[in-house]
Amino acid sequence: MCSGGFARCLGFTLIPLCIVCVLCNILLFFPGGKSVDSKNITDQVWYFGGILGSGVLVSALYFFMLKYNYCLTDHASPHSLSLSLQMLSSMLFAGIGVVGAGYSVIVSAVAINRGPKCSFFLNSTTLDWGYPFSNGDYLSNATLRDSVCQEPAGVVPWHLSLFSVLLVMGLIQVALCAFQVINGLLGALCGDCCGGVSIYSAMSLP
């Protein structure tokens, strides 16, 4: 596939992933689908991995492609260095996307391992808010997942499902953005089939 063609497809692929990540992060502010006091929301939700990392930073690559997609316009001459410079710039934005998505992946992995913040029995009679699970011990123990958290109802599957989606989406974004770094480098050095010239041939043309 042409370097520019892949970059264009990548941009359109990333946007649905970004939207899903932003929605997941927003839903995590309502554990179990319920409104709770802000201090009782899991800490990792406030790190905005899905909104800032997999949302804003990754979508920056799409908006760059939208503005500088030379394959869709006649603004860039194939006999100029602008094609190569655009591909090099796309590498920078793709690198930002890798960092953003990677941040979301780390936050999600920590949240899954730690478990949700919920109301649970400190002893036989006292309820308190905190993190009853440790080191992911609840992941393979369905009984523990279903019995420990008292409020909000259904917070454990809610927490696991949404952070798992964020984790998977983030990994996909990391892979796509990392591939665009390589694609941008190849496009800058070897040219794109839209223009049919490389940086070296462009430099030799009058």
| CA–CA gap between residue 115 and residue 110 (Å, rounded) | 8
- The structure's pTM equals 0.80
CA triple 157-162-166, angle to 5 deg: 145
Q: What is the mean pLDDT of residues 61-84?
A: 54
For residue 202, is pLDDT > 80?
no
- Model confidence over 168-191: pLDDT tens digits? 999 999 998 888 888 777 766 775
Predicted confidence (pLDDT) at residue 71 exceeds the cutoff of 90: no
146-163 pLDDT per residue, tens: 889 999 999 999 999 999
Predicted pLDDT of residue 67:
59
Instruction: Provide the residue range defining the domain that includes 121.
Output: 3-204
pLDDT on residue 201:
38
What gap in Å lies between CA 115 and CA 111, rounded to an integer? 6
pLDDT score recorded for residue 200 = 34
Comparing 130 with 84, which gets the higher pLDDT? 130
Question: Which of the given ranges, 26-40, 56-70, 136-150, 189-203, has the highest pLDDT on average?
Answer: 26-40
Question: Strands 118-121 and 127-130, how do they pair?
Answer: antiparallel
Residue 81: per-residue pLDDT: 52
d(CA 35, CA 49): 20
How far, CA to CA in Å, does 25 sit from each of 5, 96, 106, 192? 31, 20, 14, 37
Number of structural domains (the chain) is 1
pLDDT in the model for residue 58: 87
Average pLDDT over residues 125-142: 85
* pLDDT over 70 at 20, yes or no: yes
